[in-house]
Amino acid sequence: MLSKAKIKFVKSLQIKKYRKQEQCFVVEGAKSVQELLNSDFDTVLVLTTKDFQSHNKLPASAEVIEVTARELEGIGEFQSNDSVLAVARIPDPVDPAIGKDEFVLVLDDIRDPGNLGTIIRAADWFGIKTVIASPETADFYSSKVITATMGSFTRVGIFYTDLSVYMGGLQDGRIFGAFLDGKNIHHVNFGTGGHVIIGNESRGISADLTRFVTDKITIPRFGKAESLNAAMATAIICDVMRSGGLGAGNRG
């Protein structure tokens, strides 16, 4: 039976303060929970409808409570969730191990949860496993971010840190930065690895991080839009980056 205390606990995890205190986060919806159950995350609680439970193997170590679709709609943040909700433990942070032939995304104050979630999803699509983020970047473990990743949160690791200190500690390698006045990405030889900085939605890359950029890049504009959504720009850059960039010069 679903108790009031359990409902209060789950709802408290909608707030960052309590996620940090409990070291737990919420995952909503069939797709995302299925990805969670097939990952290395430790699932501690599953609120599930009978239908979801009958079609999925739930971990023996987790507390499983059968609920109705209506109950789920009143507990989570998304009324569209009518199948399952899970609570998982936030893993202990570890310093990322980055190979020299690996691309890494660096997020300079990406504040919008939807943008962050979509960036994580794009990173997963293009085989990027590590994201370095400023402390001001949206919380990876918020429900809005987790839902926007569509399960990619289980395959892409994020590391929050002071970006100036992190970038200053890099020994070598190229650092790409997205600017409006950079070099056309289709004319850039990205090589096989490096860091790619994506700036804040409204301010772009901060001056403090600009000094570390070795390659200023830009997505060529053909229309009149003032700018691109940060997540959209990230996906385009990753696509060209994975193809090497060169050989597409006739695009503009």
pLDDT of residue 245: 57
Q: Give the predicted TM-score (pTM) of the model.
A: 0.92
Domain identity same for 114 and 71: no
Domain identity same for 153 and 77: no
Two structure tokens written together for 230: 């940060």
Domain identity same for 81 and 119: no
Across 88-111, average pLDDT: 93
Residue 201 within a domain: yes
Last residue of a domain, one of 64, 89, 114: 89
Domain identity same for 172 and 224: yes
* CATH number for 27: 3.30.1330.30
Task: Determine what percent of the chain falls in helix, strand and coil, rounding each to the nearest 5.
Answer: 35, 20, 40
Domain identity same for 109 and 203: yes
Domain identity same for 51 and 118: no
pLDDT of residue 250: 39
Domain identity same for 225 and 133: yes
pLDDT of residue 195: 97
Nearest Cα to Cα of residue 179 among 251, 104, 108, 102: 108
Looking at the chain, the whole-number percentage of residues with pLDDT higher than 70 is 96
Domain identity same for 58 and 119: no
Domain identity same for 109 and 232: yes
Alpha-carbon distances, residue 163 vs 130, 134, 205 (angstroms):
14, 6, 11
Two structure tokens written together for 102: 């690996």
Domain identity same for 108 and 85: no
pLDDT of residue 97: 86
Question: How far, in Å, CA of 189 to CA of 40, rounded?
Answer: 36
Last residue of a domain, one of 59, 89, 119: 89
Question: How far, in Å, CA of 23 to CA of 10, rounded?
Answer: 12
Reduced to 3 states (helix: H, G, I; strand: E, B; else coil), residue 59 is coil
Nearest Cα to Cα of residue 200 among 190, 208, 192: 208
Domain limits for position 45 = 4-89
Interior angle at CA 59, CA 58 and CA 64, nearest 5: 65
Domain identity same for 55 and 108: no
Domain identity same for 181 and 215: yes
CA dihedral 32, 33, 37, 40 (to 10 degrees): 50
Residue 127 within a domain: yes
Looking at the chain, the whole-number percentage of residues with pLDDT higher than 90 is 83
Across 81-96, average pLDDT: 91
* CATH number for 211: 3.40.1280.10
